[in-house]
């Protein structure tokens, strides 16, 4: 029988994708492993590989289509011995449903049985409108008056496991709950807190908001995927994570002197350019990574079933990209030298802006750094990026008057603010982590011993 090709979930946070380009035409022979399409995920442009042999009988969703839900039918593959025209005809009804942005029931069942294909970064440049970070919300599983959309198999599995459907985040079409969502919930993933599962915040309609402003006094810029995803993720983080904040000042005089000396001594490559150039942010990443090792209880992630205590310090670093931001993760940051961290971050930043990061390069991590000091921002509080329990916001280093030994003198001071998930990191524990970070950042020689 024909194989239904569905819009894949190429990352755990992907809900919709843009079908950027078809690399095969209707009637082309396809082998397992052939790249058949390029899909813009919620982070990057990825190549979609076929997992079956056959003939591409019907393209249901044309290239250039945007906001195609995960698990929606996008094409039909005729297998060996099948008539491609007959397979295409059988897909006509499904194609009509896809054009109306409704995923048919049959492909949903197929998606639960057939594994998703492997994906790798596309060789071609990504579209500047590629979306960024996302996560499904528990509210997305409900439509209308407390009705929960779930497949029959998912309902049976949830009932057997004793899990409320309203607490499960659905990854199927229109946030429908499917079997794999229940399995994820059983392991403590994709499970919303009970209080948040039914909580809904009333939002004024677009018409009501626009009525407050004079017609013609504004331009309407439609949201692209990146802004929609960021907005949804921020609301989810603030509604479901109890934030608290700790701020302290760090004297970075020794750090600036060490940075200047280290950069001056950097070896040159064959073109005569320094092999590395450290930034203040590189020291911050290293200091936070080592502080988490010194205060291991703060190197944690909250889940409903238990606390995850991380062995490594994998630090996400917020990178601004057109239309939003993304957080590539420096793995094993506690064990890497400052020069390696510096060069890795330069590579991450360049590829993030080109939408060429691989999913494993921006997913996970145990904490994060957000630095607005280069914009002259003195201090701020960042929103926690799940699944992290902490994020460190870095302000600008500036000369300030301080009192030392009873005398007023000038010093280079940098304000930092730790946002913590109170479920995982208590106040005293957060203060202990900040104290460890301050000791390291103010004495950078301890980071290279």
By CB atoms closer than 10 A (0-12, 13-18, 19+), residue 435 is: middle
How far apart are alpha carbons 171 and 340 in whole angstroms?
37
Q: How far is CA 356 from the centre of its chain?
A: 14
Q: What are 55's two structure tokens? A: 């003939």
The full set of domain ranges for the chain reads: 3-121, 138-230, 243-447
Residue 117: band (very low, low, confident or very high) from pLDDT cuts 50, 70, 90:
very low
CB atoms within 10 A of CB 267: 8
Residue 66: band (very low, low, confident or very high) from pLDDT cuts 50, 70, 90:
confident
How far apart are alpha carbons 244 and 13 in whole angstroms?
25
Helix (H) or strand (E) holding 352: helix 338-353
The pTM of the full predicted model, rounded to 2 decimals, is 0.64
Q: What is the pLDDT, as a whole number, of residue 130?
A: 33
How far apart are alpha carbons 390 and 432 in whole angstroms?
13
CATH topology of domain 3-121: OB fold (Dihydrolipoamide Acetyltransferase, E2P) (2.40.50)
CA-wise closest residue to 47 among 78, 22, 81: 22
Q: What is the pLDDT, as a whole number, of residue 77?
A: 86
388 is catalytic: no
Query: Does residue 122 register a pLDDT over 60?
Result: no
Residue 41: band (very low, low, confident or very high) from pLDDT cuts 50, 70, 90:
confident
> Among 223, 243, 310, 422, which one carries the catalytic annotation?
422
ω into 119 cis (within 30 of 0):
no
Residue 125: band (very low, low, confident or very high) from pLDDT cuts 50, 70, 90:
very low
Which range (22-31, 152-161, 218-227, 274-283) has the least confidence? Answer: 152-161
Can you list the alpha helix ranges (DSSP code H) found in 82-224? 84-90, 92-99, 105-113, 152-161, 179-186, 194-197, 206-210
CA-wise closest residue to 64 among 37, 95, 43: 37
Q: What is the pLDDT, as a whole number, of residue 173?
A: 65
Q: What average pLDDT does this structure show over 178-184?
A: 82
CATH of domain 138-230: 4.10.320.10
Query: Does residue 318 register a pLDDT over 70?
Result: yes
Query: What is the average pLDDT value for the chain, to the nearest integer?
Result: 82
Residue 201: band (very low, low, confident or very high) from pLDDT cuts 50, 70, 90:
low
Classify 45 as helix, strand or coil.
strand
Helix (H) or strand (E) holding 398: strand 390-404
Query: Does residue 127 register a pLDDT over 70?
Result: no
Query: Does residue 199 register a pLDDT over 60?
Result: no
Higher pLDDT, 158 or 192: 158
Which range (189-193, 223-227, 354-358, 408-412) has the least confidence? Answer: 189-193
**Rg of the chain on CA atoms, in Å:** 25
Residue 286: band (very low, low, confident or very high) from pLDDT cuts 50, 70, 90:
very high
Higher pLDDT, 81 or 163: 163
Among 147-156, 159-168, 291-300, the range of highest mean pLDDT? 291-300
Higher pLDDT, 83 or 429: 429
Query: Does residue 239 register a pLDDT over 60?
Result: yes
Q: Burial code of 15-33, b = ≥16 C-beta within 10 A, e = fewer? A: bbbbbbbbbbeeeeebeee
CATH of domain 243-447: 3.30.559.10
User: How far is residue 305 from each of residues 58, 138, 187, 191, 301, measured CA to CA in Å?
Assistant: 45, 17, 8, 10, 11
Contact 87, 2 (CB under 8 A): yes
């Amino acid at each position: 029988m024909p194989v239904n090709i569905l819009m894949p979930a190429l990352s755990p946070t992907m809900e919709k994708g843009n079908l950027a380009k078809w690399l095969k035409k209707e009637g082309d022979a396809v082998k397992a492993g052939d790249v058949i399409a390029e899909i813009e995920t919620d982070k990057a442009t990825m190549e979609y590989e076929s997992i079956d042999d056959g003939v591409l009988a019907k393209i249901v969703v044309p290239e250039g289509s945007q906001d195609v839900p995960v698990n929606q039918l996008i094409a039909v593959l005729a297998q060996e011995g099948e008539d491609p025209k007959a397979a295409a005809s059988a897909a006509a009804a499904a194609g009509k449903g896809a054009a109306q942005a409704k995923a048919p029931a049959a492909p949903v069942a197929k998606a639960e049985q057939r594994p998703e294909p492997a994906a790798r970064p596309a060789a071609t440049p990504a579209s500047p409108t590629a979306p960024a970070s996302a996560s499904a919300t528990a509210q997305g599983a409900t439509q209308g008056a407390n009705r929960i959309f779930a497949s029959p198999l998912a309902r049976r599995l949830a009932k057997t496991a004793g899990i409320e459907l309203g607490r499960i985040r659905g990854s199927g079409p229109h946030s429908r709950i499917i079997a794999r969502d229940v399995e994820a919930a059983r392991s403590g993933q994709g499970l919303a807190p009970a209080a948040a599962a039914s909580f809904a915040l009333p939002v004024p309609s677009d018409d009501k908001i626009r009525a407050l402003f004079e017609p013609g006094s504004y331009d309407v810029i439609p949201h692209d995927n990146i802004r929609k995803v960021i907005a949804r993720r921020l609301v989810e983080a603030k509604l479901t994570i109890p934030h608290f904040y700790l701020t302290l000042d760090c004297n970075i005089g020794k750090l600036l002197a060490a940075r200047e000396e280290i950069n001056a001594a950097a070896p040159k490559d064959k073109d005569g350019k320094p092999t590395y150039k450290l930034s203040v942010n590189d020291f911050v990443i290293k200091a936070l990574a080592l502080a988490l090792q010194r205060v291991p209880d703060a190197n944690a992630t909250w889940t409903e079933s238990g606390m995850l205590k991380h062995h490594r310090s994998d630090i996400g670093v917020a990178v601004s990209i057109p239309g939003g931001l993304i957080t590539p993760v420096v793995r094993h940051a506690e064990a890497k030298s400052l020069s390696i961290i510096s060069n890795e971050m330069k590579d991450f930043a360049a590829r993030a802006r080109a939408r060429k990061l691989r999913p494993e390069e921006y997913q996970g991590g145990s904490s994060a750094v957000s630095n607005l000091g280069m914009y002259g921002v003195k201090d701020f509080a960042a929103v926690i990026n799940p699944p992290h329990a902490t994020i460190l916001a870095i302000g600008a280093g500036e000369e300030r008057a301080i009192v030392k030994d009873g005398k007023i003198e000038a010093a280079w001071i940098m304000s930092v603010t730790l946002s913590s998930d109170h479920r995982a990191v208590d106040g005293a524990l957060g203060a202990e982590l900040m104290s460890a970070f301050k000791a390291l950042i103010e004495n950078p020689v301890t980071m290279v011993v």
